[in-house]
Amino acid sequence: MTKNVLITGTSTGVGFESAILFAQKGYKVYATMRNPSKAEGLRKRIADEKLNVEILELEVTETKSIQSAVNTIIEKDGKIDILINNAGAGFAKTTEQSTEEEIRWVTDVNYLGTVFCTQVVLPFMRKQKSGQIISVTSVGGLVGQPFNELYCGAKFAVEGFMEGLATYVTDAFNIKISCIEPGGIATEFMKSAIAKTAVDGQFATGEYLPIFERYMAGNQKRASESKETVYQTGLEVAEVLLKVAQNENPPLRIRTSKWAEDFCALKTQADPDGSKIVNQIKSSFL
């Protein structure tokens, strides 16, 4: 029977590539985006390749919007097999110089959006006694980085949320839980983050400025020295998502590249895929 998949944030990048790849591989794809006027590129690929993709509106920070998209899927298919929490947004700014509105926004999009989408699909997956929830986090969900503390904090929160779920919903209801942890991906992500964060072309001011300039110079140097190894394409990350979806026993944590693996090694070497910690928690608490 054809498996269906709901993917958030499919207007660009990893979400866009995943929608196409999953459909090419035989899944029924519900490609969701907050602004369907950005669907033109996806519509063209769907038409050109006659793909089994339906585009739905879904704003991850609004539970009504999530509920409405999920209801549509349930009405059509009577089930939901896979949720991919992909929507997210970068943010690079000091905590001191971020507004309350910005702090709420970066947390809403990256963390609460994942929680709300998961909350809405869980009752259907529990009743089905099957399902899979995959969240795209980041190496920033494991390692805090300068000027990215608010983004990293939100991605750490997603990691903790998913880890907690993995300790009981998999065994009880056959709902598989995984976090995908990419390093850099060449998508719209940086452009969107810059547009969102910069004030008059500046990301940091005052005593933070020289530290920020050192950070940016280091970033540029690393990127120019090793572009291929640091940055993956959206399609490469989509291919990792597909492998996880096809895996009967997917791990909790998956870095998507050697660069990402090396970057997180100090945090992950004791338990690279998260299985040991999940088993330890299960045996001590359940």
Ligand X SMILES: NC(=O)c1ccc[n+]([C@@H]2O[C@H](COP(=O)([O-])OP(=O)(O)OC[C@H]3O[C@@H](n4cnc5c(N)ncnc54)[C@H](OP(=O)(O)O)[C@@H]3O)[C@@H](O)[C@H]2O)c1
Which residues would be at the binding site for ligand X (CB under 6 A)?
A: 8-15, 33-35, 38, 59-61, 86-89, 109, 113, 136, 138, 182, 184-185, 187-189, 192, 234
DSSP string, 177-190: EEEEE-SEE-SSHH
Q: Identify which of residues 4 and 12 has a Cβ nearer to ligand X in the complex.
A: 12
Catalytic positions are 151
Neighbours of 141 (CB within 10 A): 28
**Nearest distance from C-beta of residue 142 to ligand X, angstroms:** 11
CB of 279 to ligand X, least distance (A): 27
Helices 149-166 and 275-285 pack at an angle, to 10 degrees, of: 60
Q: Residue 194 Cβ, how far from ligand X at the closest point, in Å?
A: 11
35 versus 249: smaller Cβ distance to ligand X: 35
Nearest in space to 81 (alpha carbons), one of 2, 23, 21, 164: 2
Alpha helices in the chain (DSSP H): 13-24, 40-49, 63-77, 100-107, 113-128, 149-166, 169-173, 189-197, 209-225, 227-230, 234-246, 258-268, 275-285
Q: C-beta of 18: minimal distance to ligand X in Å?
A: 9
The answer to whether the beta carbons of residues 89 and 193 sit under 8 Å apart is: yes
Answer whether 53's CB lies under 8 Å from 27's CB: no
Angle CA 16–68–115, to nearest 5: 70
Phi-psi region of 206 (alpha: psi -120 to 50; beta: other; left: phi over 0): left
Cβ of residue 108: shortest distance to ligand X, in angstroms?
7
In angstroms, what is the minimal distance from the CB of 183 to ligand X?
6
CA distance 272 to 254: 8
Q: Which is nearer to ligand X, 216 or 281 (CB)?
A: 216
- The nearer residue to ligand X, 167 or 234, going by C-beta atoms, is 234
C-alpha atoms less than 13 angstroms from C-alpha of 103 in its C-beta half-sphere:
9
* 182/250 with CB nearer ligand X: 182
Count Cβ atoms within 10 A of the Cβ of residue 40 and give its class: 0-12 exposed, 13-18 middle, 19 or more buried.
exposed
Nearer to ligand X by Cβ, of 188 and 239: the residue is 188
